[in-house]
Amino acid sequence: MKTICFFNQKGGVGKTTSVINIGAALGQRKQKVLIVDMDPQGNSTSGLGILKEELEASIYDVFIGNKTVEEIIHHTGEENVDLIPANSDLAGIEVELANTDNKEILLRENLNDLNQYDYILIDCPPSLGILSINGLSASDSVIIPLQCEYYALEGMSQLMDTIQLIRHSVHPNLEIEGILLTMYDRRNNLCRDVEYEVKKYFEDKVMIPPIPRNIRLAEAPSFGRSVLQHDRFSKGARAYKRIAKAIIQNTKDS
């Protein structure tokens, strides 16, 4: 089993979109996948067709000790993809866990026994708080979705400092799975410039292909399904399929 978290302190970079669609693409390749929604906004939850407002329990209940992870796993409409959902109950979790021992590794401890999955994908919130720290400390590696714009490059040094902090404090073996360029438009000079700079610094850690700007990708969450179900022939679907194939190969090679 391999656990990968998707993390960027900047919001709106295609993080949740990537979690859902990489998960769906892995599932279509006969991999058993569990997506863990760690964002109080619950976008992975709603993006997979589960109504946040009607949840009887969520990852919040695991953190406060009311439920086990096995009790809150939902099957989704995606082939071979299950979900641990989240909703706004998570918003105040930092205060509730303030005096809890080992609060940085609660997720890791709760996921340890889930051996029935090939991949666990963790959707972290766009901030460095206790939820993201839990996601990073529970993972073997991290995928960093990076929007192709100038400000995204500005934030990369801070992002790498954050990962180094996690390595030094709670998880020395955390690796970078890859940098995933999102919202890419080859006709745009800035996109090409960002791609060049990122490849110059991260070299073979830049995942291929970049994820294009694609209307089908934007539409799919409103239907509660991945772009692979919404339009499997779209550019976005084809790109995520290639990324999933590369992840599987990287897992075999490691």
How far is the C-alpha of 250 from the C-alpha of 161, rounded, in Å? 25
Specify whether the CB–CB gap between 42 and 88 falls below 8 A: yes
How far is the C-alpha of 69 from the C-alpha of 114, rounded, in Å? 9
**CA atoms in the 13 A half-sphere facing the CB of 44:** 32
* 3-state SS assignment for residue 212: strand
251 C-beta neighbours (distance < 10 Å), count: 17
Q: Helix, strand, coil proportions of the chain in percent (round to 5)?
A: 50, 15, 35
DSSP state of 9: S
In tens, the pLDDT along 217-244 reads: 999 999 999 999 999 999 999 999 999 9
Q: What pTM was estimated for this model as a whole?
A: 0.96
| Angle ∠(135,138,141) on CA atoms, nearest 5 | 85
Q: Which two tokens stand for residue 209?
A: 């292909």
In tens, the pLDDT along 77-105 reads: 999 999 999 999 999 898 999 888 889 99
Q: Could you read off the pLDDT tens digit of each residue along the chain, which spans 254 residues?
A: 999 999 998 888 899 999 999 999 999 999 999 999 999 999 999 999 999 989 999 999 999 999 999 999 999 999 999 999 999 999 989 899 988 888 999 999 999 889 999 999 999 999 888 999 999 999 999 999 998 887 777 778 888 888 998 999 889 999 999 999 999 888 888 888 889 888 988 889 999 999 999 899 999 999 999 999 999 999 999 999 999 999 999 999 87
Alpha-carbon dihedral of residues 159, 162, 163, 166, nearest 10 degrees? -170
Q: Which two tokens stand for residue 163?
A: 């990962």
Question: Is residue 161 within a helix (H) or strand (E), and if so which, with residue range?
Answer: helix 156-169
Name residue 251's amino acid.
T
116 C-beta neighbours (distance < 10 Å), count: 11
pLDDT of residue 153: 75
HEC string of 29-48? CCCCEEEEECCCCCHHHHHC
